[in-house]
Chain A
Amino acid sequence: MKMKMTNWFLIAAALVAAVQSITAADVTGKITLKGMPPEEKVLPLDPMCGKLHANPPKTRFYVSDGKGGLADVFIHIKSGLTGAAPSPSATPAVLDQVGCEYAPYVIGVQVNQKMNVLNSDALLHNVHPTPIVEGNKEFNRAQLPKGPPISTAWPEPEVFLRFKCDVHPWMFAYVGVVAHPYFAVSAKDGSFTIKNVPAGKYVIEALHRKTGKPVTKEVTVDANGAVADFTIELQ
Chain B
Amino acid sequence: MNRTPHNPWLHCFAVVTALATLALLGVGGIVTSKGAGMAVPDWPTSYGYNMFWLPLKWWYGGAFYEHTHRLFAVFVGLLTSILAAWIWGRETAGRTRWMGWFTILVFVLMLGHRGSGNASGGAVGVPFHFNILAVLIPVFLIFSIVQYIRTRGLLRWLAMTAFFAVIFQGILGGFRVTLYKDQIGIAHATLAQLFFTLVCVFAVFLSRWWNEMEAKPVEKESRLRRWFIAATLLIFIQLVLGAAMRHQHAGLAIWDFPLAHGQLWPDTSVEAIARYNQQRAELVAFNPITAMQVRLQMLHRITALLIVITVAISAWLTLKCTGQGNALRRVAIEWIVLIALQATLGMLTVLKNKPADIATAHVVVGALSLATGVLLVVLTYRVKILSFTRSEPLLCSRDAVGAN
Contact = CB atoms under 8 A, between A and B. Distances in A.
Interface stretch (A13-21, A24-32, A70-78, A136-144): A136-144
Interface string A53-96: 00000010100000000000000000000000000000000000
Given A38-B281, A59-B283, A234-B278, A169 B62 contact: yes
Contact of B61 (A140, A144, A167): A167
Contacts of A195: none
Interface string B39-74: 111100001100000000010111100100000000
Contact of B37 (A123, A166, A172): A166
Contact of A141 (B121, B274, B284, B286): B121
Q: Which of A123, A138, A140, A172 has the most CB of B within 10 A?
A: A140
Given A142-B121, A169-B284, A210-B278, A46 B61 contact: yes
B180 A168 contact: no
Interface in B257-311: 271, 274-275, 277-281, 283-284, 286, 288
A166 B286 CA distance: 11
Given A126-B39, A170-B284, A140 B60 contact: no
Interface of B: 34-42, 47-48, 58, 60-63, 66, 120-123, 177, 180, 271, 274-275, 277-281, 283-284, 286, 288
Contact of B60 (A41, A126, A167): A167
Contacts of B42: 142
Interface of A: 37-41, 43-44, 46, 48-49, 59, 61, 123-124, 126, 128, 130, 138, 140-144, 147, 162, 164, 166-170, 172, 210-213, 234-235
Contacts of B281: 38-41, 59, 61
26 contacts: A38-B281, A39-B281, A43-B283, A48-B61, A49-B61, A124-B60, A124-B61, A130-B180, A138-B180, A141-B41, A141-B122, A142-B40, A142-B48, A144-B120, A147-B121, A164-B286, A166-B35, A166-B36, A166-B41, A169-B39, A169-B62, A170-B284, A172-B286, A210-B277, A235-B275, A235-B278
Nearest to B123: A141
Nearest to B356: A44
A15 to B, nearest CB: 47
Nearest to A59: B281
A187 B300 CA distance: 42
A44 B38 contact: no
Nearest to B120: A144
Nearest to A126: B41
A124 B121 CA distance: 9
Contacts of B35: 166, 169
Given A141-B122, A142-B47, A126 B278 contact: no
A209 B377 CA distance: 50
A87 to B, nearest CB: 31
Contacts of A170: 283-284
Nearest to A128: B38
A113 B278 CA distance: 31
Contacts of B39: 126, 166-167, 169
A124 B274 contact: no
A49 B63 CA distance: 14
A142 B284 contact: no
B47 A168 contact: no
Nearest to A143: B121
A212 B62 contact: no
Contacts of B284: 44, 169-170
Q: Give the 9 A-B CB pairs with smallest separation, nearest first.
A: A169-B35, A142-B121, A140-B41, A166-B39, A167-B61, A169-B284, A166-B38, A212-B274, A235-B275
